[in-house]
Structure 1
Amino acid sequence: MKKLVFASVLALGSLTTITATTPVLHDGIMDVVLQEEYTEVSADDVPQAVKDALAADFPNATLDKAAVNENKEYKLDITVDGTAAVLYASEDGEWIQK
């Protein structure tokens, strides 16, 4: 009887398939780097709403460079107390996290 139970368990065990996940090898060939294209603009071309937000939130900041992309998002290179930083803002003067 033991042999019959053992044989049936062995038979059922051999019929089940073990699913293993295939390891994904990443070789970097298919990497797509999405870079947003910003066009440099002068400080005079930055909307007043962005300038006001910068003055309100960073009163000691100096605007070094400004750039805009096709979505009217502004990239601002600023200096605050000798420390360089990059800020992103919409044309309405709202800060964007990137």
Structure 2
Amino acid sequence: MKKLILSTAIVLGSFTAMNAQTQAPEEKAVTTEQAAPAEQAAPAEQAPAAADTYTEIKNEEVPAAVTEALKKAFPDAILNRASVNGKKEYQLEVKVGDKEGALYADENGKWIQK
């Protein structure tokens, strides 16, 4: 029982940390775009941004390896949304209890720190 409570506390704490990390880059991107709207990025600079852009997919389209990793790591998690980028990295928006957060995994189900 102690392990379950400790695991839940760690999971919920990591959601808060991940949420803070995911919000900071978005704010910087908006600030940069607003500072120089007339400038256009060179095609070489646009390619990495396109690979990092997540596109929403259906929950059924998430690979089995990613779904199994989520069930194994967070058995009580509910998958609300799933997105994928050009590098085949998956962003999973999940809910555990009354806490929500985003997790990132590659197509093999290995967790990614973002």
Letter in 2 for 1:92: N
The CA deviation at 1:96 is 0.1
How far does the alpha carbon of each residue in 1:38-92 deviate from its partner, in whole angstroms, 9 at most, with x for none?
Answer: 0100011000000000000000100000000000000000000110010000000
Q: Which of 32, 42, 50 matches 2:58?
A: 42
Query: RMSD across aligned C-alpha pairs, in angstroms?
Result: 1.9
CA distance in 2, matches of 1:95, 1:82: 22
CA distance in 1, matches of 2:97, 2:69: 18
CA distance in 2, matches of 1:82, 1:75: 19
SS of 1:44's equivalent?
helix
Q: Which residue of 2 aligns with 1:78?
A: 94
- Extract unaligned runs of 5+ from structure 2: 1-31, 42-47
Name whichever structure is richer in helix by fraction. 2
Q: Which of 91, 94, 98 matches 2:110?
A: 94
- Extract unaligned runs of 5+ from structure 1: 1-27
Structure number with the bigger relative contact order (C-alpha 8 A, sep ≥ 6) is 2
Letter in 2 for 1:55: K
TM-score by length of 2: 0.56
Instruction: Give the paired residue count.
Output: 69
TM-score by length of 1: 0.65
How far does the alpha carbon of each residue in 1:4-41 deviate from its partner, in whole angstroms, 9 at most, with x for none?
Answer: xxxxxxxxxxxxxxxxxxxxxxxx757x9x86210100
Runs of 4+ residues deviating >2 angstroms: none
Structure (1 or 2) with the larger CA radius of gyration = 1
CA distance in 1, matches of 2:78, 2:98: 10
Letter in 2 for 1:60: D
